Chain A
Amino acid sequence: MVETGAQPRVSPLRRQVSRLGRALTTPLLPDDYFALIKPRWSTRELTGRVVKVRPETGNATTVVVQPDYPMSPHRPGQYLRIGMEINGIRHWRAYSITSDPEHPQGVLSITVKYTEGGRMSPVFCRQVQPGQRVFLGDVEGEFTLPDPVPAKSLFVSAGSGITPIMAMLRELDRRDALEDAVHVHSCRDEDDMIFGAMLRELAQRRPGYRLVEVHTTKVPRFQPTDLDEHCADWREREAFLSGPREMIDAVEAHYDEAALAERLHTERFQPVIGNGGGEGEGGNVHFRVSDCEAECEAGMSILVGGENAGAKLPFGCRMGICHTCVGRLQDGAVRDLRTGAVETASGQMIRTCINAPEGHIEIDL
């Protein structure tokens, strides 16, 4: 299957009516006919439309989206998968949500930095107009403010990594909780800083928020060792980190060295899994459509096992996010390689990239 938007939240009554309506529309859903009148009447996947596009400093653009169905509230720092059709092909990207939670009109915003040669960011930054239809995933991500909020905090960001931090700072500001926060942000120069004006204004208004800007055109790039200079008491603060991969790695290593790893919060992506060498008993897989038998050792995903056996299987992120690789399990039990949970899931759609067979399984792929 391909990457799909979230299931809209609709009333159980509506779901029931839709189910019964299949007696007239099978193999389609009544929704597929409603969509002929208005596309957003379909509840197959969550859609929305762009209502406003606002240029930001630092070559970025904030895109405000009105979802067609109410979404579950997000926590500042979380992200959203957003899909758009470009030249007939749907593309997906994940962006941090930059709007405040529980907006009265239910709108959401993301802030996109223009990337030369990128596929989606140039469209968001240069072409998109209000009215553009977009597809929306679920709100996701573990990079959020803890509850209660820490008394002393440190935010470290670079480039477009500022977007989730911005959402957190706005939340703290809204809750009058910006009592003692230091923010070290690294970017090329003053004009290159996304939300620069807003954050400078915030620093003036809130004495508890201190902004340190590191401009790489003037001074060397930010190094974790610079923390002593920018924020002498960094060891005593809960730290929130967002930026390019290399910076995250460097800061993580620095915190590990100081034995302060539990103080550091960052978006943790799944480690690479599925190549074997894990728990469970493994098993063999019969791919019914490809007509192929595969042997999976313990810890090897159905996807990797199938590929080793020569089957051509669909895949995307290979870490359980995008659902490109799903197939219907017809028989048997599978183990979720991320959690270790084993489940007998006959008849369900499962992701082959993060599930391993537990004994013999039959799958419609």
Chain B
Amino acid sequence: MPKRPAKPYDPDNPLWKLSDEQLEQLGKELDALHDEIFGDLGERDAQYIRKMIKFQRRLAATSRAVLLFSKFKPAWVVGTAGLSIAKILENMEIGHNVMHGQWDWMNDPTIHSSTWDWDTASPAAAWKHSHNYVHHTFTNVIGKDKDVGYEIMRIDARQQWHWPYLFQPLYNVLLMAAFEWGVALHDLDFDAIRAGTKDRKQLRDELKGIGKKVRMQVLKDYVSYPALAAVPFGKEGFKATLAADAIANVVRNVWSHAIIFCGHFPDQTFMFTEEEVADESRGAWYVRQLIGAANIDGRPLFHIMSGNLSFQVEHHLYPDMPSSRYQEIAPRVREICERYGLPYNTGPLRKQWGTVQRTILRLAFPGGGPRRKPGPYVAPPEEKAARERQKELVPAFP
């Protein structure tokens, strides 16, 4: 068990309010919920991901076909919009989640974390290490989780200030537009390179991997398709398709950057130091995931477009659970939060995104401190009523 700090950095941190017994019980409850859902996975889930992949590929192929005529304004607009949506779906609801192993239980080698590669500059293997392993294990631990500020920004006041952070609002805007390139380079682990702990041969291989990936991506988006459009429409066709592809990539970058930054950096979330998480129990690990992440409110279409990372809390509790199940378990997670006096972080996109930007601006300068937190979750009356109705539906025998 972690030693409870004598004087916690954030006195509101609910982790320090739970007893060891409570943490153990919480760990068991959350494990049981995971196992319950995994016992129920089957045809319905398989159909969902297959249909999603089929839809995404059809949309991508159609948009590419429309963009052959991108010389004409309406075709350009429709094609660019379609391709942007296709790229967002491919990266988020499909790629990110497949590479997490969420669909590995299907045993389908074409929808599997070991074989999947996505339509971005970042090669699969490197991302699986930096994201699946490092970020999802050491979530929000300052110094361990390289996603805390992505090694270029100060996101928590406990990160020591240096003058380059003065320009972090600028880095942030650049990162928005070039997010996929940022992710590709981030996987290299700059801290380790600087400290000289990164194996030289591995670094060389990874750079080669990125180079290969980037060559193919650039060839496709900025050479092959523009060249195809140039066959009937010459230079104008080439330029219009090139612009369309570039904009689709930027739209996807800005969108995924927004969703991902809203996952861990809104004011509601807690960060941890290495001392705070030493010898952490299973239950405490769950609490860290739960209060280290934040959801975004929205309608079903919004959730799909965000790759269900709008259920970041559920995703961090169960990174290997099919994303289509997050919405379903959300009320159960909230109910657990309420019973254990834990917060359930969520808010509209405007608010979540706004607080992230405010933090980036504020912490560009020295100082700063913990933000106000929402406190324990209290279910609104409608949700309580729904829970009661659910109880009546579920037979009361084992």
Contact = CB atoms under 8 A, between A and B. Distances in A.
**Which one of B104, B114, B224 has the highest number of Cβ atoms from chain A below 10 Å of its Cβ?**
B114
Chain B contact residues: over half helix, strand or loop, or mixed? helix
Contact of B106 (A33, A88, A290, A291): A88
Nearest to B219: A23
Contact of B107 (A3, A22, A26): A3
| Range for the number of chain A residues in contact with chain B | 35 or more
Contact of A88 (B42, B133, B216, B225): B42
Interface string B103-125: 01111111010110111000001
B17 interface: no
Contacts of A314: 114
Contacts of B223: 23
A45 interface: yes
A24 interface: yes
A24 B220 contact: yes
Contacts of B388: none
B104 A2 contact: yes
Interface string A292-335: 00000000000000000000001000000000001110110000
Nearest to B41: A88
A44 B111 CA distance: 12
Chain A contact residues: over half helix, strand or loop, or mixed? mixed
Contacts of B45: 88
A362 interface: yes
Contacts of B118: 27
A325 to B, nearest CB: 10
Nearest to A290: B133
A126 interface: no
A364 interface: yes
**Which one of A2, A3, A45, A91 has the highest number of Cβ atoms from chain B below 10 Å of its Cβ?**
A2
A32 B132 CA distance: 26
A330 B115 CA distance: 16
Contacts of A33: 57, 61
Contact of A331 (B115, B132, B205): B205
Interface in B117-151: 117-119, 125, 128-129, 132-134
Contacts of B225: 24
A232 interface: no
Interface in A233-291: 286, 288-291
Contact of B129 (A1, A23, A26, A291): A291
B199 interface: yes
A291 B58 CA distance: 37
B105 A89 contact: yes
Nearest to A21: B224
Contacts of B109: 1-4, 44-45
A343 interface: no
A89 B107 contact: yes
B44 interface: yes
B47 A88 contact: yes
A173 to B, nearest CB: 39
A286 B213 CA distance: 23
Interface string B35-79: 000000111111100000010011001001000000000000000
Given A1-B114, A1-B115, A330 B107 contact: no
Interface of B: 41-47, 54, 57-58, 61, 64, 104-110, 112, 114-115, 117-119, 125, 128-129, 132-134, 199, 201-202, 205, 213, 216-217, 219-220, 223-225, 228
6 contacts: A85-B108, A88-B46, A90-B108, A91-B107, A286-B199, A364-B125
Interface of A: 1-4, 22-28, 32-33, 36, 44-45, 85, 87-91, 286, 288-291, 314, 326-328, 330-331, 362, 364
Closest 9 CB pairs of A and B: A88-B46, A27-B117, A90-B107, A26-B216, A1-B114, A88-B43, A4-B109, A87-B42, A364-B125
Given A89-B105, A289-B132, A326-B114, 14 more contacts: A1-B115, A3-B109, A23-B219, A24-B228, A25-B220, A26-B217, A32-B57, A45-B109, A85-B46, A88-B43, A288-B202, A289-B125, A291-B129, A362-B199
